[in-house]
Amino acid sequence: MRRRAAALALLFGLLTGRSAVGHEVRPAYLEIDQTGPATYSAIWKQPVMGDVAIHLVPHLSNGWLDRPPVDQYATGGFLIRQWKQSAAQPAPLQGATVSIDGLQDTITDVFVRIRLKNGEGVDTIVRPEAPQFRIDLKAGAPTTISAFLLLGVEHILTGPDHLLFVLGLLLIVRSRWMLLKTISAFTLAHSLTLAAATLGHIQLSTPLLNALIALSILFVAPEAVRAARGGTSLTIRYPWIVAFAFGLLHGMGFANGLSTLGLDKSALVGALALFNIGVEIGQLAFLAVVLALIRSFRLMQLQWPRPVAAMPAYAIGALGAMWTFQYGAVVLGII
Amino acid sequence: MGVRTRTILVALALAAGQPGVAQAHLMATGMGPIYDGVIHFGLSPEDYLPVIALAFFAGLRGSPTVRRLLWVLPMTWLCGAIAALAGLSVPAGPLSWTTPVMFLVIGGGLAANLEISETAAAVVAAAFGGLRGVADISGVNASLPHLASLAGMVASAVVVFAIAASLALPLKRPWMVIAMRVSGSWLAASGLLLAGWVWRYGTQIAGS
């Protein structure tokens, strides 16, 4: 199985013929704070991979961000720019428009956080399909809750790596009780590392983490084929152990969406809780659809030909192998 | 089929379906083209209501009918959509009648619990699938720029059909059968309303 998956991955890589680093998925971050009665600071943090940065340029309709920054440096995979600004008028940000040049050509989001001295503020996410928004400082709080919750749901539903791993586990598990234990173990594990990584207690480089997550997918696929053939192994007997162990890695992957933002601790804890709830909602929705589909196929008395029945496991294995090669090459500096 | 052939087929299928570079994590991207298709289906009652009604109808006929329609519906939907992508165009006038007519035919069939053959049910499903495929692409060409969107839309139809049919398959109690038939009558009634609307206002409505 591993050899076949490797061959598929190589073929896949040849057919696609592009680098794994071509798509930046970490969010960028724009924060504007009122530092005094008429002074403001702005910080722009955008992800870079080595010397390569995607084209993202923040603009504020009052022109603050079009001036040269007071400081600019690269650190920990990010390019940072800072501005200081004085404003004579009383409410220079209310009604202004934030726009991000180049965002529409990416798959990255931008978190925008604005805070005034009087406690007013706004937190929102600017997305590629709508790369600008008008600042309304009165409507900040409700946006925060929905934004982070939605981000969690989107994060898992648009993350084929996590979904494929969960699907692989589903193909291995043989009873409802075992399914409950396995999914609970995965949830517990990824919640632990999501919190720890987001709060900065543990850290792993993004390419290495991606490679390890890909390896986890490659690991479950042959086990799913073995389970379908009636074989047994430690993973098939105790899938919850594997779910817990790899869940720790996947949690760190989830954390990439939040830990890199530079939110302050007080904002981060709330965001983390909402984000995690969103992830669980997305995961349960995916599980519900897959289980309902499996039940419906059983009621239809569908008899899949053996090659078709094995197709999901082979597809999971092939994708896992391909990603392992691609991210492994990034870790080793080959691409 | 040998292991090697199977492996190559899986690889080719994956390569054909791959939008570009492998993305182990399309985090918060605006969801991507597959989800565009899923959401398009979920927001189009003219798509999902007849699919659900067709699933109930097939479920009441038994599992062989469900199994057949499970293939016929997505295949014809895809064929219709691909034909539209390839340039097949149907004038807006006739196209605007597809939704009311399909609501009437499928809803009416479910309401009457028509005892028709598997083949006849497959013909109805094929007509619906093909017409929806054409209508979806003709109507939302700009929002479905990728074949991946089409795949997302058709996959949603398959999932909804399978799950809805599985609700009808184990029905034993008469009142549950009646409840499903009532849902068919509502769909047929909606079809009548839509037909009147199309008749009165022309091509501006009915989701086509």
pLDDT at A120: 78
Give the global pTM.
0.69
Distance from CA of A91 to the nearest CA of B (A): 32
> For A50-77, what is each residue's pLDDT tens digit?
556 678 889 888 888 888 888 887 765 6
Q: Is A199 helix (H, G, I), strand (E, B) or coil?
A: coil
Q: What are the C-alpha distances in Å from A308 to residues A303, A311, B7, B9, B153?
A: 10, 5, 11, 11, 22
The percent of residues in chain B predicted with pLDDT above 70, rounded, is: 76
Query: Is the separation of the CB atoms in A145 and B64 below 8 Å?
Result: no
Least confident interval from A15-24, A124-133, A187-196, B107-116: A15-24
Report yes or no: A275 at the B interface, CB cutoff 8 Å: no
Report yes or no: A154 at the B interface, CB cutoff 8 Å: yes
> For A220-262, what is each residue's pLDDT tens digit?
999 999 998 888 999 999 999 999 999 999 998 888 766 555 5
Partner residue opposite B11 with nearest CB, options A11, A155, A257: A11
Q: How many CB atoms lie within 10 A of CB B69?
A: 28
Tokens, residue B56: 């109930």
Contact A127 B28 (CB under 8 A): yes
pLDDT at B202: 67
Report domain extents, chain A.
2-21+155-331, 22-140
Residue length, chain A? 335
**Mean pLDDT computed over every residue of chain B:** 78
Contact A157 B31 (CB under 8 A): yes
Instruction: Determine phi and psi for A46, rounding to 5 degrees.
Output: -125, 140
Report domain extents, chain B.
31-202
Q: How confident is the model at residue A316 (pLDDT cuts 50, 70, 90)?
A: very high
Q: Which of A204, A165, A184 is nearest to A312 (CA)?
A: A165
Q: What are the C-alpha distances in Å from B194 to residues A121, B183, B189, B203?
A: 47, 17, 9, 11
pLDDT at A260: 56
Report yes or no: A82 at the B interface, CB cutoff 8 Å: no
Q: Which of A18, A318, A50 is nearest to A205 (CA)?
A: A50
pLDDT at A14: 40
**Mean pLDDT computed over every residue of chain A:** 81
pLDDT at B44: 83
Contact B170 A322 (CB under 8 A): no
Q: How confident is the model at residue A145 (pLDDT cuts 50, 70, 90)?
A: low
Report yes or no: B29 at the A interface, CB cutoff 8 Å: yes
Which portions of chain B are predicted below pLDDT 70? 1-32, 139-146, 171-172, 202-208
Q: What is the CATH number of domain A22-140?
A: 2.60.40
> For A154-189, what is each residue's pLDDT tens digit?
778 877 888 999 999 999 998 889 999 999 999 999
Written as one string, the DSSP assignment of A9-36 is HHHHHHHH-S-GGGS--SPEEEEEEEEE
Residues from chain B contacting residue A213 (CB–CB below 8 Å): 24
DSSP bridge partners of A39: A36, A86
> For A83-96, what is each residue's pLDDT tens digit?
888 877 767 788 88
pLDDT at A317: 92
What are the helix (H) ranges across A229-264?
234-237, 239-259
